Structure 1
Amino acid sequence: MKVVFLLMPRLHLLDLSGPAQVFSTADDLGCPYQLHYVAEQEDVVTAQGVRLRAETVWPVTGPDDLVVVPGWRSPMLKGGPRPSRETLGRLVAHHAGGGTVASVCSGADLLGQAGLLDGRRSTTHHELQDELAERYPRTRVERDVVYVVDGRVVTSAGIASGIDLALHLVAGQHGPAAAARVARSMVVYARRSGEESQDSAMLRHRWHLRDAVHRAQDRIDASFAEPLRLAELARGCGVSERTLTRQFVESTGLTPLRYQQTLRLERAEHMIGHGATVDAAARAVGFADARMLRRLRSRAA
């Protein structure tokens, strides 16, 4: 998957480096990404004074690829960068061809200039939301959210929210366990948008920084349908069974077994929602029969 960053003058370094680090780390962990940096001129001066060198020729992109527009320093959107028709046309053509476009902070203004926000929900930095709504009245600006996904147009609030946006996209492409591994490697919280509930237990219970518990979760995530042997799990994490259980509960509110059951239940519900019988779903997620699954479903109801 290609990730193409479109760089504008006076861009914020973290708007760029946050998402770039997510995709780069994902690539290091076996989720393949190719990162490209394009601009209308080779030298791009950032808001923090660092000069970046970009390509002026765009790579060929397809439906599986992503174009990201980092934001720039500006007290207002008015007076910000005004890219050429060719650049805006690139954004439009990529989206029309089935690709995804995303923005961080004021980068939403470029998507607005390209007409990609029309008829869609969007967001940006809280200091720019009113102006975004005024400049592009055909978009519905969502407030107090980290990012908004509307089809293949993704906008985020500002600065560090680009990390959350990128983690969400990695989760969509490679699964929540992969996104959680990336977040752990970067020592950041794996989190989702403030506009929606955490729809994956693999991400929902990662709001902690305990390494042993993260390692235990990684192992359970990868094989939650297999029998859970606490002694082996603790040994693999380098702690005692008692210590692992205590830290796991303190970090997630669940025992390792209950966490495994939560993953099994979540997967089973997904399968049942797509036409599987309760018996078939129970077997697929590791239950010996459907009785335990039925009990867990009744508790969650």
Structure 2
Amino acid sequence: MSKVVFLLVPKLHLLDLAGAAQVFSTAENVLTEAGGPSAYRLRYVAEAPEVLTAQGLPVRAETAWPELGAADLVMVPGWRSPGTAGGPRLSASQPRHLFEHHRGGGTVASVCSGAFALGQAGLLDGRRCTTHHDLQEELARRFPDAAVVRDVLFTEDDRVVTSAGIASGIDLALHLVAVRHGPAVAGRVAREMVVFARRNGDEPQASAMLRYRSHLSDAVHRVQDRIDARFAEPLRLPDLAAESGVSQRTLTRRFAEATGMSPLRYQSVLRLERAEHLIGQGATVDAAARAVGFADARMLRRLRAGAGK
């Protein structure tokens, strides 16, 4: 049985903690219900017996570290942004615990700003790592010997595993379960948790559905809602214009002003992104093309070639 030890710091984000903890807890249930031995025991350690989260909910923790072996995992959830003010600093002993666990053959992981704790422990030097997209430049500035990878969900380098913001901790934890128990078990855990899809670490932190939403046009948002929900279906510009309440010409102009592209180009971007996910999960190009609504794979191949895939 492996221990999964969460190091808790003041103002930690609940989802950073709960998302990953739920994965390992669900994995334990899946494995034991299948007749296997107990796989995980979750522990929580902190400097004080009670830690206040960023969301105002206090959580309880042990103040003494358990004995750890090479099969155990230590994970640091993120806290309300370290930013330039520095955020919570670890106690003198906490970086040592992280460093010594890794030196003993164990795995150390972080979610979001938890990467800064790994940096304080000297575990990022010379290694690939990532964090939330808003914090990547700060992480690179504070730890110049770290190889900060931008716009990925998680990285793994010599038993140092780092993930991006908030919900990406679920992706990281599912990846670790897949490494230890196989993709079928990780897939079962994802289904139990009603997670839409287990994403690869190299996938971008922000999907196309989010990247083109930083505008104030209600008409364009309504059309994007329609395309987001039905991008695999044939969509006609007159129908989209009716959805927005403006003319086709006005919609095309406003959509371009808001997103930098036409509505149908936006639909193609969504199709390409979803197809790349399916291909990354093992689908053929032909199967991915059919799944996202292309009549054949030639258009998908042209789009992938244009994107350098």
TM-score interval, smaller chain: 0.5 to 0.7
8 Å contact from structure 1 (residues 105, 158) kept in 2: yes
Which residue is 1:173 aligned to?
Answer: 180
- Identity between Structure 1 and Structure 2 (%): 62
Work out the CA distance in 1 between the residues paired with 2:49 and 2:13.
17
- Could you tell me which of 90, 97, 121 is aligned with 1:90? 97
8 Å contact from structure 1 (residues 147, 193) kept in 2: yes
| One-letter amino acid of the structure 2 residue matched with residue 153 of structure 1 | V
Which residue is 2:14 aligned to?
Answer: 13
Work out the CA distance in 2 between the residues paired with 1:136 and 1:21.
31
Unpaired runs of 5+ residues, structure 1, are 206-248, 254-301
Post-superposition shift, 1:191? Answer: 1.8
Work out the CA distance in 1 between the residues paired with 2:118 and 2:91.
13
- Could you tell me which of 69, 90, 95 is aligned with 1:62? 69
Which residue is 1:148 aligned to?
Answer: 155
8 Å contact from structure 2 (residues 154, 168) kept in 1: yes
- Could you tell me which of 199, 216, 219 is aligned with 1:191? 199
Work out the CA distance in 2 between the residues paired with 1:250 and 1:89.
47
Post-superposition shift, 1:198? Answer: 7.4
- Could you tell me which of 53, 62, 72 is aligned with 1:46? 53
Deviations 1:207-255 (A, max 9, x none): xxxxxxxxxxxxxxxxxxxxxxxxxxxxxxxxxxxxxxxxxx89995xx
SS of 1:84's equivalent in the other structure is coil
8 Å contact from structure 1 (residues 103, 111) kept in 2: yes
What are the residue-to-residue correspondences of 1:117-266 with 2, within 5 Å?
Answer: 117-188=124-195, 189-194=197-202, 203-204=281-282, 253=291
Post-superposition shift, 1:156? Answer: 0.4
**TM-score, length basis structure 1:** 0.66
SS of 1:67's equivalent in the other structure is strand
Work out the CA distance in 1 between the residues paired with 2:277 and 2:134.
26
The two structures, once aligned, show a CA RMSD in angstroms of 2.4
Which residue is 1:113 aligned to?
Answer: 120
**TM-score, length basis structure 2:** 0.64
The number of equivalent residue pairs is 210
8 Å contact from structure 2 (residues 279, 288) kept in 1: no
Unpaired runs of 5+ residues, structure 2, are 33-38, 205-275, 292-309
8 Å contact from structure 2 (residues 82, 113) kept in 1: no
Post-superposition shift, 1:77? Answer: 5.5
